[in-house]
Structure 1
Amino acid sequence: MGANGPTNPLVWLVAIICTIIAVAVVVIGITVFIGYIVIHPRVPVISVTNAHLDLLRNDYAGLLQTQLTIVVTAKNGNAKAHATFSDITFNVSYNGQDIAVLVANPFEVPKNSSKDLNYLVQSSSIPLSPDQMEQVDDAWKRNEIQFDFKGAARTQWRVGPLGSVKFLCRLDCDLKFRPMNGTYIPSRCTSKSK
């Protein structure tokens, strides 16, 4: 018994309820953390895995025509959860001149699997400045031409009843080709996730 008398039972009840809530929050937090560790997720990635320069034609009037085949692979290295890819948009450009915007509908990639997105990029005639015409001529002489490839996709894992984990995969790379035969010069073109 304290100086002011016994503690009110209502105060004891509130203290017990608060303790139960605090323990529940800690247990749920630990469960989510352990679930994340057990799943041992590998972040989904998107990569340019293959490409080909089907056509590269420039004329004396300063017009450039090109056609590219680009294979983008969406990979889910997670052994425990399916991944959903959405909001997929890529931009292909040459020396600051936009050639095409590539998109894809949302799709799911099963556990430890991948899905290829095959794009055929055909440009209309692109007007080039004299400097750009000279760069295309130099590319023919060096037998190497470069296109910019930028874009992003949203990815999401469903982690059982615990909810989902979301990422944004960004791509920003150069696609290089040999104009003489159209072959792709492989380079690391894999997304960075946030």
Structure 2
Amino acid sequence: MFSFNPEKRNFGAKKAIGDWLLYIDADERVTPLLRKEIQSAISHQPSTINHFTAYAIPRRNIFLGHEMRWGGWWPDFVLRLIKKEALLKWEGELHEQPKIIGKVGKLKKPLTHISHRSLTEMVDKTNDWSEVEARLLFDAGHPKMTWWRFLSVGVREVWDRGIKKMGFLDGTVGVIEIIYQTFSRMITYAKLWEMQIKVKK
């Protein structure tokens, strides 16, 4: 089971001794070019009120061995380089996000994100994540799931990733990813439906 706990990031921030914090997940890699850009960014901070206190880093997403350029997967900026004094806290049970003080800049060199190494891993991950997402939706009082809401979820996902963001241009892996993301969303809402009908009984 995946662990979603922003408190771990908050604890790490308190224990850090440097002026800057860099957050990297287990499936992410810092390239030599990104390392050089980070070093340059944090060592050439102007002493003015307009300086950046955090940086968003683009991610180069690798799914099933293929670099994703379409479907909303590039540049996929994530806020990971933060000045310690500017970090208020990390929050959110799923997809934790930092709350900061100050301005956010953007780096150019990407993190390498090696995700979805196999279809088995993808399905296992969906089973865990969808459980959390469904519970969050349920606790927030999401409207009752009906057949037309399910249909709407699927159509929107295919339209957004496959057509609007042209995910099909990533070829076979792009099409697999569109189908997978649609499947993942449907499983989340199916679990929400399951929670809703259990309350009725």
Pair in the same fold by TM > 0.5: no
> Normalized against structure 2, the TM-score is what?
0.25
Higher relative CO (CA 8 A, sep ≥ 6), structure 1 or 2? Answer: 2
Flag the structure with higher helix content.
Answer: 2
Larger strand share, 1 or 2: 1
